[in-house]
Amino acid sequence: MTTGFFNRKDILNVKSLQREEIEEIFNTARSFQEVVRRPVKKVPALRGKTVVNLFFEPSTRTRISFELAAKFLSADVINFSSSNSSILKGESLLDTLRNIQSLNADIFVVRDSSCGTADILSRNTSSSVINAGDGIHAHPTQALLDMFTVLEKKGSLENLNVLIVGDILHSRVARSDMEGFKKFACKVSICGPVNLLPFYIKDLGVDIFHNLDDALEDQDVIIMLRLQSERQEKGFIPSVREYVQFYSLTEERFLRKKKGALIMHPGPVNWDIEIASSLKREIHPLILEQVNNGLCVRMALLYLLSGRHEPFN
Amino acid sequence: MTTGFFNRKDILNVKSLQREEIEEIFNTARSFQEVVRRPVKKVPALRGKTVVNLFFEPSTRTRISFELAAKFLSADVINFSSSNSSILKGESLLDTLRNIQSLNADIFVVRDSSCGTADILSRNTSSSVINAGDGIHAHPTQALLDMFTVLEKKGSLENLNVLIVGDILHSRVARSDMEGFKKFACKVSICGPVNLLPFYIKDLGVDIFHNLDDALEDQDVIIMLRLQSERQEKGFIPSVREYVQFYSLTEERFLRKKKGALIMHPGPVNWDIEIASSLKREIHPLILEQVNNGLCVRMALLYLLSGRHEPFN
Amino acid sequence: MTTGFFNRKDILNVKSLQREEIEEIFNTARSFQEVVRRPVKKVPALRGKTVVNLFFEPSTRTRISFELAAKFLSADVINFSSSNSSILKGESLLDTLRNIQSLNADIFVVRDSSCGTADILSRNTSSSVINAGDGIHAHPTQALLDMFTVLEKKGSLENLNVLIVGDILHSRVARSDMEGFKKFACKVSICGPVNLLPFYIKDLGVDIFHNLDDALEDQDVIIMLRLQSERQEKGFIPSVREYVQFYSLTEERFLRKKKGALIMHPGPVNWDIEIASSLKREIHPLILEQVNNGLCVRMALLYLLSGRHEPFN
């Protein structure tokens, strides 16, 4: 099934992955698509391996996705979230990690609100580390599932026009998507309010739009980012009403998009903010396909990191 | 083992179940009674199936009962409670459901403080839904375990006199029990303070008592409901002391009950409010049998909903 | 593998264990050390058994250690913590226990902030009970893993000089360690501020020091206890600075210890309070070995309590 090219300890970001590695991840994910549709969704590939979900930032969706991915592979799963962590007793993150590693954990899945947490942990453990989102830095498994979804729908990732819309500044999804799609020679554009674009924007090598009407044309893939409600409170945008006026995917804009363009969203969608709820019937199915593809991509990563390069069943 | 009569997607309430279906559930539960007493309490019936506990209202007992039922059947279990739910991010319940369904969940077990939640979810998913209690509407698995307990003790459910005592107004247990026992031609009576009876009481076709002394006589089954402490605070009853005077199962009343009458309680009991603590030694064993029967009934439901109609081991 | 000597229902404290039982626990733990280093860390010994973690006091490390120990033995694990417990509904601890026992749980692992909780539960259930720490009373699994760590490092527990440093008064670890090491004819000393020694100190039959400098000499094992930050707030010690001055393991003191002396800590360490952080590289590895030994000792206890005296794989 796999070519055995993949030989990594960690998945920390998309940037450091080679094209061939990404392709191997996608090939592996594709074979798991078949597994998760079986009546018995269970392969013994990670039997006797322990996956530890270290979530220092609340997240139900991503945690459940990793938990199911691990369980479908027959791994044991330990959930560890900050609310009941001994972090509260003043223990440092690294001491916590070393402690759990001493319990013979094989793979850590880490989410934190600080940039770089997954990197620091990976340098301090011989176990594998998967970055499940670190601050505004990176969210590689989201980018990989976005790319995999496009690949499945379009047949190829090569040379597509990809638009990312919304709060680019605070979005680890945007950052990882930009890195990923560029590896396949895509032309990436971003669109958002000036206040929500990063200051190093000119170094990114992407086209910039401040108006979804101008940006829409000729895009093959349109990724709508979630508007965090706290952004408004902190004064990043004048009002949700104005945000909707310029950046929401309305019915009118939906009709003007390129034929066959994919509308994607990392979820959960704020309907009528990022996307008109009247479009839900048309747009939600693909967003849910992203969720399912996320499960398969995460199974592929757990499988490949565990060093099992033989067929899994 | 089963006749294959059972062919449902969901368990939403007792009302819609046919007598034959209930009998099939009981026959299946009975065969699981033997399994849970084995040294190795594990059958492979639901291997590779995923059961998701969606608990939007806190409940330890019911959640653990379903979790163990699923694990004894070898299913994977995901626990999802509102405190760590992305509901907090403003996602709608339906979007959450669709999201988790996209992760290939097979059976949802849902508890919520609003009536109708399980019904809404069931209409929006192709997965199975079990109602684990929705507001004051229904709690079918509790009613089924109550009925199963009576069946095991009495040998038959037919034509029994069943009395339900306490806060009928707010009790989904009372509602589901009434529906269930009536399907077996039982004569159901209720007994409680006027303030804690529903206004549509006359349509229920049950006898009404406002005094446990008058109601006791000739009852084969007496189900004592839990008095929620918040009821008193909201002024539904004048005082706990008065409630105890008229509705508590005291020693004196216990002696006057029909010989062989079963005293049951959905738990946890407020001793000395619903039942005198001096009766604990006599009454608690059957209440704990209810708990064990609940495990077996829930295993039966998970098993039957999963569509496995062949013998399970 | 085992001699079949072990025949207990519960592990409540170290005091009541016989030397032969402790030795059997250690022999069993040693064979599990090999299991947890395998690529596939899974033996079927507790398949179909249910282990319930009843944690009424928050603890991530101990809970995860027991959870993994149980899962490596193929048991089903239920986590139950006070924050989401029906204890909140006013149910008594014993009713909760009996309820869960009625769900066919085999082994309860109990932690509580009150002394005696595990004992009370054990007298009220036919299931096994392991005390995972009860108030300031006992923490037998920590003492057993401490002793096992010393045995592995020194080859024998016999006649060693063991020093326990810090807050003896509030430490269930200290109490259980004292009981345990004395069973192997060790000479136990304690060292701590007067305010943090128990008033019954003279009955303990241990040497007492109020200054680490005086206590260090000739000790084979030095167990540094964690200083709970709340002790300072409650006025038990004048200041952390003074505590460090007299009781911290500084570099200077580290150089004066007996050659080959083991420095241990139940974790998590407050670096630069109990132990100088400059010694981390030298001292942390053994503390992490304690963690790993804790996993193996807990597997041994679960295994022996489950009554499986035959070889486990």
- For B223-258, the pLDDT digits (tens) are 999 998 777 777 788 888 999 999 999 999 999 999
Q: Do A90 and C269 touch (CB under 8 A)?
A: no
Q: How far apart (Å, rounded) are the C-alpha atoms in residues A62 and A74? A: 18
Q: How big is the CA angle at B279 (ends B274 and B283), to the nearest 5 degrees?
A: 80
CATH 3.40.50.1370 fits C140-291, yes or no: yes
- Grade residue B203 by pLDDT with cuts at 50, 70 and 90: confident
| Residue-level pLDDT at B309 | 52
Closest by Cα among A161, A191, A186 to A174: A191
Report the distance separating Cα B244 and Cα C188, nearest Å.
57
For B89-115, what is each residue's pLDDT tens digit? 456 788 888 998 999 999 999 999 889
CATH code of C19-138+292-305, in short, is: 3.40.50.1370
Give the three-state DSSP class for B52: strand
Q: Which among A36, A41, A60 has CB closest to B85?
A: A60
For chain A, list the contacting chains (3+ Cβ pairs, <8 Å): B, C
Q: How far apart are CA B8 and CA B5, in angstroms?
A: 9
Per-residue pLDDT of C37-56, as tens digits, reads 999 999 999 999 999 999 98
Question: Between chains, do B103 and A65 touch, taking CB under 8 Å as contact?
Answer: yes
**Residues comprising chain B, all counted:** 313
Cα(A49)–Cα(A70) distance, integer angstroms: 9
Q: Residue type at B173? A: V
Provide the residue ranges of all domains of chain A, joining segments of one domain with +. 19-139+292-305, 140-285
Strand (E) or helix (H) holding C174: helix C172-182
Domains B19-138+292-305 and B140-290 share a fold: yes
- Tell me which residue in B36, B40, B268 faces C95 most closely, judged by beta carbons: B268
Q: Chain C: nearest CA to B94, how far in angstroms?
A: 25
Task: Please report the number of interchain residue pairs, chain A to chain B, with beta-carbon separation below 8 angstroms.
Answer: 68
CB-based contact C89 B268, cutoff 8 Å: yes
Contacts of C292 in chain A (CB under 8 A): 102-104
Please tell me whether the peptide bond between A268 and the residue prior to it is cis, using omega within 30 degrees of 0.
yes
Residues in chain A closer than 8 A to B98 (CB atoms): 284, 288
- Determine how β-strand A161-165 pairs with β-strand A187-191: parallel
CB C264, CB C290: distance < 8 Å: yes
Residue A268 to residue B95, Cβ atoms within 8 A? yes
Pairwise CA distance, residues A304 & A298, whole Å: 10
Per-residue pLDDT, C238: 83
Q: How far are the Cα atoms of A167, A228, B99, B114 from residue B91, in angstroms, in the given order?
A: 18, 12, 10, 17
pLDDT confidence of residue C4:
62
Q: How many CA atoms lie within 13 A of B109 on its CB side?
A: 30
Yes or no, beta carbons of B64 and C78 under 8 Å apart: yes
Query: Which range scores top for mean pLDDT: A237-241, B56-60, C252-256?
Result: C252-256
| Beta pairing class for B262-264 and C262-264 | unpaired
Q: For residue range B109-131, what is the model confidence (pLDDT) as tens digits?
A: 999 988 999 999 999 999 999 99
Nearest CA in chain C to A47: C40
CATH number, domain A19-139+292-305:
3.40.50.1370
CB burial readout C222-238, b (16+ within 10 A) else e: bbbbbbbeebeeeebbe
Both tokens of C273, joined, read 């309070």
Cα B203 to chain centroid distance, Å, stands at: 23
Determine whether the interchain pair C86/B289 forms a contact, defined as Cβ–Cβ distance below 8 Å: no
What is the DSSP code (8-state) at residue C208? E
User: Would you state the pLDDT for residue B88?
Assistant: 42
Cα C61 to Cα A99: distance, rounded to the nearest angstrom? 8
- pLDDT value of position B209: 95
Considering only alpha carbons, which residue of chain B is nearest residue C103? Answer: B292
User: How many contacts (CB atoms, under 8 Å) link B and C?
Assistant: 68
Dihedral pair phi/psi, residue B165, rounded to 5°: -120, 130
Element (H, E) at A168: none
Computed over every residue of chain A, the mean pLDDT equals 91
Find the CB nearest B291 among C85, C88, C99: C99
User: CB–CB of C304/C23 below 8 Å?
Assistant: no
Which residue of chain A has the CA closest to C294?
A: A103
User: Tokens 């506990």 label which residue?
Assistant: B53
Cα distances (angstroms) measured from residue B159 to each of B191, C24, C128: 19, 59, 42
Q: Which one of C84, C91, C95 has the shortest CB-CB distance to B58? A: C84
Alpha-helical segments (H) within chain A? 19-35, 60-72, 93-101, 117-123, 140-154, 172-182, 212-215, 229-233, 240-247, 251-256, 280-305
Sheet holding B128-134, edge to edge: B76-81, B50-55, B107-112, B128-134
- Contacts of residue B103 in chain A, CB cutoff 8 Å? 64-65, 68, 291-292, 295
| pLDDT tens for each residue of A268-309 | 999 999 999 999 999 999 999 999 999 999 999 999 999 855
Instruction: Give CA angle at B34 (B29, B39), nearest 5°.
Output: 135
A-chain residue closest to B94, CA distance: A268
Sheet (strand C107-112) strand order: C76-81, C50-55, C107-112, C128-134
Closest CA to C176 of C220, C114, C133: C133
Nearest in space to A10 (alpha carbons), one of A97, A144, A140: A140
Residue C78 to residue B61, Cβ atoms within 8 A: no
> Per-residue confidence at B312, pLDDT binned at 50, 70, 90?
low
Q: Is the pLDDT of residue A68 over 70?
A: yes
- Give C-chain residues touching A84 at CB under 8 angstroms: 58, 60, 81, 83
Cα–Cα distance measured from residue B148 to residue A185, given in angstroms and rounded to the nearest whole number: 65
In Å, how far is A144's CA from the nearest CA of chain C? 28
Neighbour order of strands in the sheet with B207-209:
B207-209, B187-191, B161-165, B221-224, B262-264
CB contact under 8 A, C84 and B38: no
Non-local CB neighbours of B234 within 8 Å, separated by 6+ positions: none
3-state secondary structure of A238: coil
**Position A91 confidence tier, pLDDT thresholds 50, 70, 90:** low
User: According to the model, what pLDDT value does residue C204 have?
Assistant: 80
Contact flag B49-A59 (C-beta cutoff 8 Å):
no
Would you state the pLDDT for residue B2? 47
Interface mutation target, options B32, B53, B64, chain C, most CBs of C under 10 Å:
B64
Which has the higher per-residue pLDDT, C26 or C202? Answer: C26
Specify the DSSP class assigned to residue C225: P
The answer to whether the CB of C124 falls within 8 A of the CB of C98 is: yes
For residue B86, the chain A residues in CB contact (below 8 A) are 59-61, 268
Cross-chain CB nearest to C100 (options B64, B284, B289): B64
* Chain A residues near any Cβ of chain C (below 8 Å): 47-50, 76, 78, 80, 84-86, 88-92, 95-96, 98-104
Of A37, A270, A295, the CB nearest to B103: A295
- The pTM score is 0.93
Residue A87: band (very low, low, confident or very high) from pLDDT cuts 50, 70, 90: very low
**Candidate CATH numbers 3.40.220.10, 3.40.50.2300, 3.40.50.1370, 3.40.50.12240; the one for domain A140-285:** 3.40.50.1370
Give SS3 for A258. coil
pLDDT band at C85 (very low <50, low <70, confident <90, very high): very low
- The crossing angle, in degrees rounded to 10, of helices C19-35 and C140-154 is 70
Q: What is the mean pLDDT of residues B65-87?
A: 82
Do B104 and A288 make contact, defined as CB atoms within 8 angstroms? no
Q: Would you state the torsion angle of the CA atoms of residues A92, A98, A100, A101, taken in this order, to the nearest 10 degrees?
A: 160
Chain B neighbors of A59, CB-CB under 8 A: 86
What is B128-192 written as a DSSP string?
Answer: EEEEEEETTTB-HHHHHHHHHHHHHHHS--TT-EEEEES--TT-HHHHHHHHHHHTTT-EEEEE-
- The DSSP code sequence of C229-270 is HHHHHTTSSS-HHHHHHHHSB-HHHHHHSPTTPEEE--S---
- The single residue listed with the structure tokens 């090219």 is A5
What does pLDDT average to over chain C?
Answer: 91
For residue C146, what is the enclosing H or E element?
A: helix C140-154
Residues of B in contact with C95 (CB under 8 A): 267-269
Would residue B4 be called left, alpha or beta, if left means φ above 0 and alpha means ψ between -120 and 50 degrees?
Answer: left
Residue A102's closest chain C neighbor by CA? Answer: C292
Model pLDDT for residues B4-31, shown as the tens digit of each residue: 678 899 999 999 999 999 999 999 999 9
Do A102 and C37 make contact, defined as CB atoms within 8 angstroms? Answer: no
The subunits that touch chain B, with at least 3 C-beta pairs less than 8 Å apart, are A, C
Quote the percentage of chain A above a pLDDT of 90. Answer: 78
- Is the CB of C288 less than 8 angstroms away from the CB of A102? yes
DSSP at A11: B
CB within 8 Å: B49 and A58: no
Buried b (16+ CB within 10 A) or exposed e, B10-32: bbbbbeebeeebbbbbbebbbbb
Which residues, in sequence order, are bridge partners of residue C110? C54, C131
- Contact indicator for A125, A9 with CB cutoff of 8 Å: no
Q: For the ranges A163-177, C126-140, C231-245, which has the lowest average pLDDT?
A: C231-245
Identity of the amino acid at A246? F
Per-residue b or e along C6-42, where b marks 16 or more CB atoms closer than 10 Å to that residue's CB: beeebbbbbeebeeebbbbbbebbbbbbebbeeeebb
| pLDDT given for residue B92 in this prediction | 78
Q: Looking at domain B140-290, does it have CATH number 3.90.420.10?
A: no
| Per-residue exposure over B67-98, b if at least 16 CB sit within 10 Å of its own CB, e if not | bbbbbbbbbbbbbbbbebbbbebebebebbbb
What token pair was written down for A69? 């991915």
pLDDT at B94: 85
CA distance A198 to chain C (A): 38
